[in-house]
């Protein structure tokens, strides 16, 4: 295997906000819960198939550090791990080379250290923005933050929406807000964080997903990772079905990013299976699927070493930032 990437899908230009469509959206919570439970109960992929899927999960990972104690040194270690996420002996035993994660995700202040560490390679930097994680600074400040992160070299911007617009049903303001962020991003891709744990209902998740996609979001993302409840399978199912229908209606392929709490190889496989069954194999690539994670990579490496050697290693054998 090589590190070559298939071409990016066409950018999502968005469309006119359709308030009647949003108002008519309904989600069957019981059916969503049953569908999600079926994934957990089902026999997972095994042996060499599981190894191949886990390697793809690594390729689709946004390797992330978003701590108040982040330093340039920590970001340097993150970037080095992003470029070589698998231990050399494991990669050699699996017969793979050139495996990299999908992107590194950092705060604005860490973009410059990340660029230095990456040394001009093609790995994208994703910057969280717009008053992450609460998104409650002034709109002018949030917009300027986007512009500054793009100018600093971020190729992807993870914006947080204003949750009160969803909770009060102010879809026009939410649409206008995301549309402004999309314009400020220029060529950088927009990943809209819905903070689904704060949105109360799956109908709100569905409507927020549609409003952000109509406004031009290239990805919709579950969570900041800072809410009490982050990525869950019923929420993911709701968002994926919105993505599928949006693609059918507009022709634009929007990506999906679960984030927050996806810390085990088993969970990563469940999201990959859900992507395949709901959207198809074409969506199971970094251009359309990312997993926001940090500790997940350690568990995936441990599972891959078990496949190679038949034994589980201690977590400290797998270097992390």
Q: Which residues are catalytic?
A: 158, 221, 257
Neighbours of 46 (CB within 10 A): 9
Q: With CA atoms as reference, report the closest residue to 76 among 117, 25, 112, 30.
A: 117
Please provide residue 158's backbone torsions phi and psi, each rounded to the nearest 5 degrees: -90, 100
> H or E stretch including 62?
strand 61-64
Q: Which two tokens stand for residue 150?
A: 């793009």
Bridge partners of residue 192, in order along the sequence: 159, 220
Q: With CA atoms as reference, report the closest residue to 62 among 299, 224, 291.
A: 291
Put residue 135 in one of left, alpha, beta given phi > 0 → left and psi -120 to 50 → alpha.
left
Bridge partners of residue 125, in order along the sequence: 104
**Interior CA angle at 33 toward 27 and 36, to 5°?**
115
Q: Which two tokens stand for residue 178?
A: 């995301």
Could you write out the DSSP letters of every residue in 47-83?
Answer: HHHHHHHHHHHHHTEEEE---TT--HHHHHHHHHHHH
């Amino acid at each position: 295997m090589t590190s070559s990437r298939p071409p990016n899908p066409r950018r999502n230009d968005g469309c006119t906000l359709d308030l009647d469509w949003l108002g008519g959206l309904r989600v069957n919570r019981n059916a969503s819960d049953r569908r999600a439970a079926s994934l957990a109960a089902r026999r997972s992929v095994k042996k060499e198939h599981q190894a191949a899927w886990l390697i793809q999960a690594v390729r689709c990972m946004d390797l992330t550090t978003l701590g108040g104690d982040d330093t340039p040194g920590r970001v340097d270690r993150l970037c080095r791990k992003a470029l070589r996420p698998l231990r050399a002996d494991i990669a050699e035993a699996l017969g793979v080379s050139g495996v990299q994660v999908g992107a590194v995700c950092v705060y604005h202040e860490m973009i410059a250290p990340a660029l230095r560490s990456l040394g001009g390679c093609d790995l994208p930097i994703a910057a969280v923005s717009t008053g992450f994680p609460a998104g409650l600074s002034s709109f002018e400040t949030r917009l300027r933050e986007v512009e500054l992160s793009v100018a600093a070299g971020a190729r992807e911007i993870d914006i947080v929406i204003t949750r009160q617009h969803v909770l009060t049903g102010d879809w026009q303001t939410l649409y206008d807000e995301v549309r402004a962020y999309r314009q400020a991003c220029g060529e950088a891709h927009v990943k809209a964080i819905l903070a689904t744990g704060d949105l109360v209902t799956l109908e709100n998740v569905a409507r927020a997903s549609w409003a952000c996609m109509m406004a031009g979001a290239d990805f919709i993302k579950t969570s900041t990772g800072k809410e009490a409840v982050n990525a869950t399978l019923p929420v993911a199912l709701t968002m994926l079905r919105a993505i599928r229908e949006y693609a059918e209606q507009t022709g634009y392929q929007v990506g999906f990013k679960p984030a927050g709490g996806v810390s085990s190889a088993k969970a990563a496989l469940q999201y990959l299976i859900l992507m395949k069954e709901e959207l198809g194999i074409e969506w199971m690539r970094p251009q359309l699927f990312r997993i926001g994670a940090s500790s997940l990579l350690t568990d995936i490496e441990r599972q891959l070493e078990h496949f190679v050697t038949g034994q589980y290693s201690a977590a400290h054998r797998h270097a992390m930032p």
